[in-house]
Structure 1
Amino acid sequence: MDTPHPVDSPDAFWLNPPASAVPDGDALVVTTRERSDFWRTTGYGFVRDDGHALLAPLPEGTAVEVTFLAAFDALYDQAGVMVRVDEATWTKAGIEMSDGVAHLGAVVTRGVSDWSLAPVPDWHGRHVTVRASRSGDALTVRARCEDGPWRLVRYAPLAPDAPARAGLYCCSPERAGLQVRFTGFAFGPADTALHL
């Protein structure tokens, strides 16, 4: 990413402020509220829209990149990137704990949510970067652990004229007090190719 975007920018706002968000040098340490989550209907029959997300405009042709570190240990602890049009149209992607293992996953919501996961046990307790690029009618989500190779996480639809916002997010659906140390939050040009 070429252009750092400070987390105190007037363009960024908290959707559902967390219990705390404390600057620590160049990082932002975010602590979740109890049973916070983003999910819509599928399988569970409920709608949750109280996870924490710090969002700024994401015009077509741009990308957002977030780097974070966290001690995920409870079921569904999660953090990463969110791209949001409204309460029924959004994508979140990052690391999520499931069955005691860190997973790289994404949820794409278009009225109802879906969920995809791939285990990444060697990423647990390490810096992870997630990038969401908006180009044409598509959202391309990639992730990597530290300086490792980028992995394609999701290729999802996003209408080119949709007024999307994007940024860092975290949730703890089964508890309170997950702490996530966000060490990077930047906006820049979208990836120009699907395959790097």
Structure 2
Amino acid sequence: MVKTNNWQDGIWTNEPKSCTLQGDQLIVEAVEGSDYWQKTMYEFQHDNGHALLAPWKDGEAVEISFSLQGITELYDQAGIMLWHSPTVWIKAGIEMNDGVPHAGAVVTDGFSDWSLSPVAEWAGETVTFRASRMKDAVIIRARTQSHPWRTLRVARFPYESGVQAGPFVCAPTRAGLKVVFTRWITTGPDKDVHTDPPLL
């Protein structure tokens, strides 16, 4: 089962500066200062990022693909948002840190945490992030056209209803960030944390 989601079916948590359909692609420009973060270490609460969300059923996986070409400045970020409420969510994607793209996840339940790993070899490619629900958790993976699936995180996400998912983009430190999203699909869930999903 593979279902391609229409960009028009999602609802923005916060409207981006611009959003343009170009064929099957969605080009999103983030508002300067946009981000998602809750309290930890920095003490601030940011909830003005841009996430395009649609219902996400239990027993499904969701994949978001986008180009890394526009992600060049400190804390530029894009990826997949898993949403239960304004204080309970997970964002997983690419974030520019110290001049190097990093694959990572921010898991938030009242407070945020951040895990990340450098992926300099992914620069300039199109990347796919995948989230699959399994029991009380979500398995988060990522790959590019030329690099295989990499498991990034297994995080608690026990919610059976009221869950949404979709692409997100944030530009905490600058204006002008544009991200080209190329695909948004839902499909069957992962079989196991140790078994790579198929390439779709």
Tell me if TM exceeds 0.5.
Answer: yes
Q: Which residue of 2 aligns with 1:23?
A: 21
Is this contact kept in 1: 2:77–2:95, CA < 8 A?
yes
- The separation in 2 between residues aligned to 1:5 and 1:147, in whole angstroms, is 24
Per-residue CA deviations over 1:6-50 (Å, capped at 9, x if unaligned) read: 1112xx211101011100111000000011000000010000001
Q: Does 1:67 align with 2:51?
A: no
1:61-140 correspondence to structure 2 within 5 Å: 61-70=59-68, 71-140=70-139
Q: Does 1:4 align with 2:1?
A: no
Q: Does 1:149 align with 2:116?
A: no
Q: Which residue of 1 aligns with 2:35?
A: 37
Is this contact kept in 2: 1:59–1:134, CA < 8 A?
no
Shift of 1:143: 0.2
Shift of 1:135: 2.2
Runs of 4+ off more than 6 Å: none
**TM-score normalised to structure 2 length:** 0.94
Per-residue CA deviations over 1:38-93 (Å, capped at 9, x if unaligned) read: 00000100000010010011111111100001321211000000001001100000
Q: Which residue of 1 aligns with 2:192?
A: 193
Q: Which residue of 1 aligns with 2:11?
A: 13
Q: What secondary structure sits across from 1:8 in the alignment?
A: helix
Shift of 1:147: 4.0
- The separation in 2 between residues aligned to 1:150 and 1:190, in whole angstroms, is 15
Is this contact kept in 2: 1:79–1:95, CA < 8 A?
yes
Q: Which residue of 2 aligns with 1:48?
A: 46
> What stretches of structure 2 of length at least 5 have no aligned partner?
196-200
Is this contact kept in 1: 2:81–2:167, CA < 8 A?
yes
- The separation in 1 between residues aligned to 2:13 and 2:20, in whole angstroms, is 16
Is this contact kept in 2: 1:60–1:136, CA < 8 A?
no
Range 70-79 or range 38-47, more displaced: 70-79
Is this contact kept in 1: 2:84–2:159, CA < 8 A?
no
- The separation in 2 between residues aligned to 1:95 and 1:55, in whole angstroms, is 18
> What stretches of structure 1 of length at least 5 have no aligned partner?
none
What is the aligned-residue identity percentage?
A: 47
Q: What secondary structure sits across from 1:97 in the alignment?
A: strand
Q: What secondary structure sits across from 1:156 in the alignment?
A: strand
**TM-score normalised to structure 1 length:** 0.96
- The separation in 2 between residues aligned to 1:130 and 1:13, in whole angstroms, is 20
Note the aligned Cα RMSD (angstroms). 1.1
- Number of equivalent positions: 194
